[in-house]
Amino acid sequence: MAISLRKARTIIRKALEKGRELDLKPLSVVVLDAGGHVQAFEREDGASPGRFQIAHGKAHGAVMFGAPSSVIGEIAKERPHFGAALSGVYGGQIVPVPGGVLIKDKKGAIIGAVGVTGDTSENDAAAALAGIEAAGLVGVV
């Protein structure tokens, strides 16, 4: 199953709504498909200009390695040489802190990832998860 643009829009809107609800700083949200390619992205007014790259790196690492960015962050902390290698093989397009959340369908297949940046990494991840669940999908934080 692919993520339709309609689903991607829902994920982004609901993630941003969650941010407003929790009074977070301006968020940026990207949705990647199962191949790690950009489906949709929005950056809220007031966010710094370089937020696409961070949101993308969180979600891209998650899809490519098959684990949420929080797990990649644990790897990077415990085995820095492996974290550095992942950055190398993925051309630097990996951000190993929470906020890159895998999207699974009801059968458990990974169909993409959401990357959120702007507030604390934990709040970013919470907003991503809220968006995914509002779209009727399963998030792996």
Interface with a second copy includes 94 (CB under 8 A)? yes
**Binding string, residues 31-50; x marks residues near a second copy by CB under 8 A:** --xxxxxxxxxxxxx-xxxx
Identify residues 61-90 at the interface with a second copy (CB under 8 A): 63-67, 73, 76-77, 79-90
State the minimum distance, in angstroms, from the CB of residue 49 to a second copy.
4
Q: Which stretch binds a second copy (CB under 8 A): 5-13, 122-130, 131-139?
A: 5-13
Name the nearest CA neighbour of 133 among 9, 2, 10.
10
112-141 positions binding a second copy, by CB under 8 A:
none
Which CB, 38 or 141, lies closer to a second copy? 38
Contact in structure between 87 and 64 (CB atoms under 8 Å): no
Query: Which CB atom, from 44 or from 133, has the smaller least distance to a second copy?
Result: 44
Query: At what angle are helices 69-78 and 80-89 packed, to 10 degrees?
Result: 130
Q: How far apart are CA 22 and CA 32, in angstroms?
A: 24
Residues that bind a second copy (CB under 8 A): 2, 4-5, 8-9, 33-45, 47-50, 52-54, 56-57, 63-67, 73, 76-77, 79-97, 110
